[in-house]
Chains A and B, each alone.
Chain A
Amino acid sequence: MLNQSEIIKTIEMIDRQHLDVRTITMGISLRDCAHDDVGRVSQKIYDKITRLAHDLVKVGDTIQSEFGIPIVNKRISVTPIALVAESCDAPDYVPVAKALDRAATECGVNFIGGFSALVHKGFTNGDRKLIASIPQALAETTYVCSSVNVATTKAGINMDAVALMGKIIKETAALTASSGGLGCAKLVVFANAVEDNPFMAGAFHGVGEPESVINVGVSGPGVVYAALQDCKGLPFDDVAETIKKTAFRITRMGQLVAQEASKRLNVPYGVIDLSLAPTPVKGDSVARILEEMGLAVCGTHGTTAALALLNDAVKKGGVMASSHVGGLSGAFIPVSEDEGMIAAVRQGALSLDKLEAMTCVCSVGLDMIAVPGGTSAETISAIIADEAAIGVVNTKTTAVRIIPAVGKTVGDTVEFGGLLGSAPVMPVHEFSSADFIARGGRIPAPMHSLKN
């Protein structure tokens, strides 16, 4: 029989340390939904999603009940809509976003990702229409998430797309101002976007993916934090070892859930995304893990090194526990969704510049950050360009999910509620980047030798 202390340890992780499976995400290809009439495209999309994902929520709930592990979210990701919808000659793709929203409602999922375009080297006509539709699509739907890939290591940075996304983010904030700019919380600008990410808002079903697939995102910052309580004052070797062992356990649980969901839905299992995804709940914070390593407040000197260790140890522990690892895999640092990050910003310890440095060593990028409503589109574009450069040069995924808080300024707070949390408005540099952004064109792909 199992060792009693192991059983109790698992139960403590679930009850007291917020261990959960963060998301089961079903990826669905919509490549066969093309048609020259936008109404037919929308109908085909709705029909296919509701047919394939009909049992997703029910299966997730059954697995939760049998294993006693909370499965927080059930979600759907689809082929980037620009690829599907450009077959029709509609002036905009808002009707398609509404079809996605209706499908999500019917399936009972809490987000559907893939109102997306991949424009790292340039725009097709469909890409342009999709991007122009984003503000209205996000304002008039509840569950739809959008993403745009503006750069890759192989193609460089599409600065025309970077400039455009600054304006689109501002417009989205204006159209959703009554809900604190909530639309921007559902819009991600990527460099090196991955095709199998199960986490929102950036999930989409890449073109190299099968007809449908199950990807699972595990979490567990609270479990890592609790494990580090036994490492007080010990050298970093012990810290790294403890995080690895903990990540292994968390991932094994995710792997089991993924295999079970795949079997019951009769959909192939894709990847486990080994991400430490915080929530606004106390005790489920990535910032508190960094502080546990000996930093008075997250954001002070040493934070980047602490995060680098954490991110690497999570991957090392998780890789052995799962047959296929993918997605974003690492530590997330979304400000509004992490109780410790929020506290660090309020204390003045964590700035946008430090967060940018942190994104060099962890998964993803500047995430869920509120900036003053008066921030110009060019400044937002310049923030995106900086983040894309980090991703492109370091051959990693980076992203920007930024919320210009309409009518608010530094010191104010934007409340989103739920998993999206609350975001303290952070200052941006006041000096203009407008002439830099106005140049347009492309920043060439970087060298991959002579690395120093």
Chain B
Amino acid sequence: MKAIVTVIGLDRTGIIAEICSLLASHDINILDISQTVMKEFFTMTMLVDTALSPLPFDALSAVLSKKGEEMKLNIRIQREDIFHAMHKI
């Protein structure tokens, strides 16, 4: 399943590294990454493929949100379809 991971919060060193290794440890393949820093805010969106991950989607979502709490960032995963539905005709 294709999904979008978004990471929003205060910028610091190593955010991408830490999140990418977490995703890799759950066999999630990253297909595309886009990130910017606006003022001090770090914003990253990733297109990922969860097809090979043994974790069900809701467990994955819980793992990422727990990681977000640890890193003091807002991290979430949502199916890609929702964004296509809302923004593309």
Contacts and interface: CB of A to CB of B under 8 A. Distances in A.
Interface residues of A, number: 21
Given A62-B58, A65-B61, A68-B77, A1 B86 contact: no
B36 A252 contact: no
B84 A2 contact: yes
A449 interface: no
Contacts of A431: none
B81 interface: yes
B40 to A, nearest CB: 16
B86 to A, nearest CB: 5
Contact of B76 (A2, A68, A249): A68
A49 B32 CA distance: 45
B30 to A, nearest CB: 11
A4 B31 CA distance: 14
Contact of B78 (A6, A8, A9, A68): A68
Contacts of B32: 1
A9 B81 CA distance: 15
A435 interface: no
**Interface range for B:** 20 to 34
B77 A4 contact: no
B34 A252 contact: no
B84 A10 contact: no
B77 A7 contact: no
Interface in B15-42: 31-32, 34, 36
Q: Chain A contact residues: over half helix, strand or loop, or mixed?
A: helix
A430 interface: no
A249 B86 contact: yes
Contacts of A62: 58
B77 A253 contact: no
A7 B58 contact: no
Contact of B83 (A7, A65, A66): A7
B52 interface: no
Given A1-B47, A2-B87, A65-B58, A253 B34 contact: no
Given A4-B34, A65-B61, A252 B79 contact: no
Given A65-B61, A68-B78, A256-B82, A6 B36 contact: no
10 cross-chain pairs, A with B, having the tightest CB-CB distances, nearest first: A68-B78, A6-B87, A256-B85, A252-B85, A65-B58, A67-B82, A1-B32, A249-B86, A4-B34, A66-B79
Interface of A: 1-4, 6-11, 62, 65-69, 249, 252-253, 255-256
Given A7-B83, A249-B87, 7 more contacts: A3-B87, A4-B43, A10-B82, A66-B58, A67-B81, A68-B77, A69-B78
12 contacts: A1-B34, A2-B83, A4-B45, A10-B83, A67-B79, A68-B76, A68-B79, A68-B82, A249-B87, A253-B85, A256-B81, A256-B85
Interface of B: 4, 6, 8, 31-32, 34, 36, 43, 45, 47, 57-58, 61, 76-87
